[in-house]
């Protein structure tokens, strides 16, 4: 059953499907592609960004002025308490490309991007924060390689000084070593084909690993330099506690990509190794007990027990993981068939 947010997002998309061409205001024209499909949907998660939103949208006007790229800006109010939702309602009257959707509580960027995706119509999706550390004027540079058909996903490599530079450099270094991705910066703004969202696990905070997951699924990835500026207004939502969360998420993504479809390779391997250690240790303990000088060694018995018990748990855990992996594969196949059926219905 669809959630309230998903229903709201879907109904928002339905309300915005135009019957005729583009809508025009005195300061900008927004052409609409045939069938209501647009070139670009800019997804903007916003948590207490009321001081930045008017300037952000005004800069969006300038970014695409004179361009033949059709676009929309979907701002996802992620549980703001500073009046952002009411402000967005006022801004909708001025900016016909603006769509607003809302989370009643803060659910994080990953959920916000998912909600924006459900409400969007663009062939290319762009994750762009509302704090104006990235200027909308650089957005065409980000989407151009995808619209031209050259690549599936583009990440912006940060250019400029920022307070999280050291943390970001460590994160990117570890990510390159673990995942062998062909880009230097995984944590900047991103543009990607719509279908990339279909392969991303719906997990909190996994938006940081969109590039990693997409590359593992065979999508081509590139990077372009994007300037980074000081925050226009408001305060950063980043806290030092996010560092530990990020490291654990990195480990989780690594496990998912390496062993998610065959968990027994890890758990069975570890369990088998412990069984072997326990078996060899047991032989040594028996030899010490029954061969001259017939001296038992208690710690060896404890080691045997530990290895056998832990090995058994790991093997059983791996077998259960295999069953879960089978169910996940079946669910992916069902999802592919449903998507194919929906595409056929649209084609008719």
330 band by pLDDT with thresholds 50, 70 and 90: low
Q: In degrees rounded to 5, what are phi and psi of residue 342? A: -65, -40
d(CA 193, CA 151): 9
Q: Which residue has the tokens 């939103």?
A: 53
pLDDT at 298: 64
For 61, counting Cβ atoms within 10 Å of its Cβ (0-12 exposed, 13-18 middle, 19+ buried), the class is middle
Helix ranges restricted to H, 156-238: 165-179, 210-216
- Residues whose CB is less than 8 angstroms from the CB of residue 305 and which lie 6 or more positions away in sequence, other chains included: 278
Range from 34-38, 130-134, 196-200, 344-348 that averages highest in pLDDT: 130-134
d(CA 9, CA 330): 27
d(CA 48, CA 109): 13
Is the pLDDT assigned to residue 216 strictly greater than 60?
Answer: yes
pLDDT at 336: 62
* Closest listed residue to residue 151, CA positions, set 193, 189, 123, 120: 193
145-200, pLDDT tens digit by residue? Answer: 999 889 999 988 888 676 666 677 777 777 777 787 778 777 788 999 998 887 77
Residue-range domains of the chain with CATH: 4-259 (3.90.550.10), 264-347 (no CATH)
How much is the mean pLDDT over the chain?
Answer: 75
Contact, 238 vs 164, CB < 8 A? yes
85-123, pLDDT tens digit by residue? Answer: 999 999 988 899 999 998 888 888 888 888 888 888 899
Contact, 288 vs 295, CB < 8 A? yes
């Amino acid at each position: 059953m669809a959630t309230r947010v998903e229903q709201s997002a879907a109904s928002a998309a339905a309300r915005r499907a135009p019957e005729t061409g583009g809508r025009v205001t005195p300061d900008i024209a927004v052409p609409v592609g045939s069938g209501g499909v647009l070139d670009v949907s800019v997804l903007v998660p916003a948590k207490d960004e009321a001081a930045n939103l008017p300037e952000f949208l005004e800069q969006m006007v300038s970014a695409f002025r004179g361009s033949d790229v059709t676009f929309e800006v979907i701002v996802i109010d992620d549980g703001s308490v500073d009046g952002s939702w009411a402000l967005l309602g006022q801004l909708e009257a001025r900016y016909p490309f603006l769509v607003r959707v809302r989370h009643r509580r803060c659910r994080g960027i990953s959920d916000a991007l998912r909600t924006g995706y459900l409400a969007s119509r663009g062939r290319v999706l762009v994750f762009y924060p509302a704090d104006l550390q990235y200027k909308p004027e650089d957005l065409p540079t980000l989407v151009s390689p995808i619209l031209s058909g050259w690549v599936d996903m583009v990440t912006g490599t940060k250019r400029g000084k920022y307070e999280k530079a050291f943390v970001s450099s460590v994160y990117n270094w570890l990510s390159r070593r673990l995942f062998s991705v062909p880009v230097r910066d995984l944590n900047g703004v991103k543009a990607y084909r719509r279908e990339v969202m279909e392969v991303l696990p719906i997990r909190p905070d996994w938006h940081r690993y969109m590039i990693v997951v997409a590359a593992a699924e065979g999508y081509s990835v590139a990077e372009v330099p994007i300037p980074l500026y000081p925050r226009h207004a408001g305060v950063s939502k980043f806290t030092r506690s996010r560092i530990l969360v990020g490291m654990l998420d990195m480990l989780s993504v690594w496990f998912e990509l390496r062993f998610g479809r065959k968990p027994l390779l890890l758990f069975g391997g570890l369990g088998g190794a412990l069984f072997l250690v326990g078996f060899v240790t047991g032989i040594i303990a028996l030899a010490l007990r029954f061969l001259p000088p017939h001296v038992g060694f208690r710690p060896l018995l404890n080691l045997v027990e530990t290895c056998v018990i832990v090995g058994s748990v790991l093997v059983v855990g791996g077998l259960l993981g295999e069953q879960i992996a089978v169910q996940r594969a079946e669910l992916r196949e069902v999802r592919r068939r449903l998507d194919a059926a929906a595409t056929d219905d649209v084609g008719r």
